[in-house]
Chains A and B, each alone.
Chain A
């Protein structure tokens, strides 16, 4: 149980500090994408992983291992990492990254994001996405945060990059003392030319909302998707992929990425969801990222390290290889489901 808590604690940490990674077939390929966050143990064998992803049929990638402190991706310079993906016939078009997001230091925040965008311009990727935030619980605070989002979007536009925000389920709770959901406020108070949205179809469903309804209501705002399920895409009783893809394409979009967590035991999945729901409860009251992280550290499991979570942290290379192998197997199953679905173009 303690190991599981440690695992989940570190997994949640990495959600926030994420900086963790053409052989074209002769017949026309379906345009399927992979978020490399899904590849647990990626950095233990990047080329092997890229080859496997390309063989699966993936053609576009979203990375999550850009390190804002060093400006590197898995130790590679951005251009080199992009070239590595290109070597295997895949293009990195999107990245989950974070820079400073602090209302008390707008200048510093914009400078930090500016550097992120500079590096991503070199990488050659089109989209940079803020993966998760804990938002203010007041309308005034939220307005200020949306203004900052717009300013960050300005910085991105200067570099020819699109800046976006990715949802979990926490954004689908109401802002305190209002009838408005956080996600709806963000959509209404960010400038469509400066901030786009990536819809995670799993998390919005967990949040009790309909992905298709949002795609219909905001046809130009959601430019990317995370195609995600409990684990392998298409394996559960949740999510209507056909309706989602149909509406997404109808809105004029083409790019989306499979995202998967590590293969978890039932206990790990329950603990992970319990912790995500705790974050949802925190968002329901409103807060900010700095406080959240400080509290997390204060309340971390007393037994300290435990086993590193699957795919994160330094580990025995044999263990890493096993984790990577398992991860790639699941990723291939997701690719197979999407490739054989006639609603996927």
Chain B
């Protein structure tokens, strides 16, 4: 039965006032050390980017399909201009909840990719609005997935300051703020005063510093966590387990991603990844899959990923 949008929104605000939004209650935010379960079911999350237009072309139907597949939680993508596509953020949340899905996380990027002393204020203002909107969406985590320009140690420091500021804004609203990697963060930049030799004769090279580690060091553990995308970490030539070992409290969420459908390529050892992740207290993760190159639809791929994890003995 269709109701007017105004009535619909009134109902939403009543619910909001009733304080059902997790975002308003800091203690409610999960810092659980035990794996969450829903009546014995595995809690498996999905980054909705994985569905691309197969979701956005019909969000209510798409959300129901996500739930039918077996996912419990979703991480959003596509926020912009204060909305989720065509939907107001509160509408969007209702659609997800009507489908039985909980929005627990979201990926958003500020418009600026290069940070300077001159634009940090603008970026901060942008985060204030993004946080406001994501409180309405009910997320526990707000995550930046795009890497800002980092060519020098000074760049890394400034990025750290901007991230800390975003973290403060989010924390004040009861949300955790974090950063998601791709593979470029594992590039090395020369230590200050050290030059990386170039040219045909330059075989031996100094090691330099890894940008990802500089980002860790430049950010305040109380304000910024990290969502490690394990596939992109491997593409960055790194072993996720090394990073779990090195930063057991900073890395709090995972993107479980493979070349395509989970478990089919030769590139990832998910058993070791999950075992090590659980051992450091990580129990929140989201499946992600890129544009599938074969005949398979994104929904089929996303189902294949769910089935792989649901059938895996090493996934709680």
Interfacial residues, chain A to chain B (CB-CB below 8 A)? 5, 8-9, 12, 201, 204-206, 208, 210-213, 215, 230, 234-241, 243-244, 247, 267, 270-271, 273-275, 277-279, 282, 285, 287, 291-292, 295-296, 298-301
Contact = CB atoms under 8 A, between A and B. Distances in A.
B304 interface: no
Contacts, number: 106
B117 interface: no
Given A210-B265, A235-B241, A237-B230, 15 more contacts: A5-B204, A204-B266, A206-B237, A211-B266, A212-B264, A235-B272, A236-B269, A237-B273, A238-B239, A240-B268, A243-B263, A244-B266, A267-B207, A282-B203, A299-B203
Nearest to A267: B207
Contacts of A270: 207
A210 B259 contact: yes
A212 B268 CA distance: 11
Contact of A295 (B188, B200, B263, B265): B200
B138 interface: no
Contact of A210 (B205, B266, B273): B266
A205 B201 contact: no
B235 A208 contact: yes
A204 B234 CA distance: 11
Interface of A is mostly: helix
B239 A271 contact: no
Interface string B175-206: 00000000100001000000000001111111
- List of 5 A-B pairs having minimum Cβ-Cβ separation, nearest first: A211-B266, A237-B240, A212-B266, A210-B265, A244-B266
Which of B263, B266, B268: most chain A CB closer than 10 A?
B266
B203 A295 contact: yes
B77 to A, nearest CB: 24
Given A210-B265, A213-B259, A237 B203 contact: no
B276 interface: yes
B35 interface: no
Interface in B216-267: 230, 233-235, 237, 239-242, 259, 263-267
23 contacts: A9-B204, A12-B203, A204-B266, A205-B234, A205-B267, A210-B265, A210-B267, A211-B266, A234-B269, A237-B276, A238-B269, A240-B269, A267-B207, A270-B207, A275-B203, A277-B237, A278-B203, A278-B204, A279-B203, A282-B203, A296-B203, A299-B203, A300-B204
A43 B201 CA distance: 33
User: Range of interface residues on chain B?
Assistant: 20 to 34
Contacts of B235: 208
Contacts of B183: 208
B308 to A, nearest CB: 11
A234 B270 CA distance: 11
Contacts of B204: 5, 8-9, 275, 278, 299-301
Nearest to A285: B200
Given A235-B272, A238-B234, A240-B263, A291 B241 contact: no
Contacts of A295: 200-201, 203
Interface string B144-185: 000000000000000000000000000000000000000100
Which of B204, B207, B239: most chain A CB closer than 10 A?
B204
A212 B259 CA distance: 10
Contacts of A282: 200, 203
A184 to B, nearest CB: 16
Nearest to A209: B267
Contacts of B233: 237
A301 B267 CA distance: 35
A308 to B, nearest CB: 17
Given A210-B266, A211-B266, A243-B266, A236 B272 contact: yes
Interface in B64-99: none
A211 B265 CA distance: 7
Given A201-B266, A243-B266, A236 B202 contact: no
B227 to A, nearest CB: 15
A213 B265 contact: yes
Contacts of B276: 237
Contacts of A9: 204
A282 B265 CA distance: 28
A207 B78 CA distance: 31
A299 B202 contact: yes
A318 to B, nearest CB: 30
A213 B261 CA distance: 13
Nearest to B275: A237
A212 B258 CA distance: 12
A235 B239 CA distance: 10
A239 B201 CA distance: 33
A239 B276 CA distance: 15
Which of B201, B265, B268: most chain A CB closer than 10 A?
B265
Contacts of B234: 205, 237-238
B241 A236 contact: yes
Interface in B261-289: 263-270, 272-273, 276
A292 B204 CA distance: 12
B267 A211 contact: yes
B314 to A, nearest CB: 12
B195 to A, nearest CB: 14
Interface string B285-303: 0000000000000000000
Nearest to A295: B201
Contact of B265 (A206, A236, A240, A285): A240
Given A298-B201, A299-B201, A240 B239 contact: no
A342 B240 CA distance: 25
A5 B207 CA distance: 10
Contacts of A215: 266
Nearest to B246: A266
Contacts of B264: 212, 243
A244 B265 CA distance: 8
A279 B265 CA distance: 26
Nearest to B258: A240
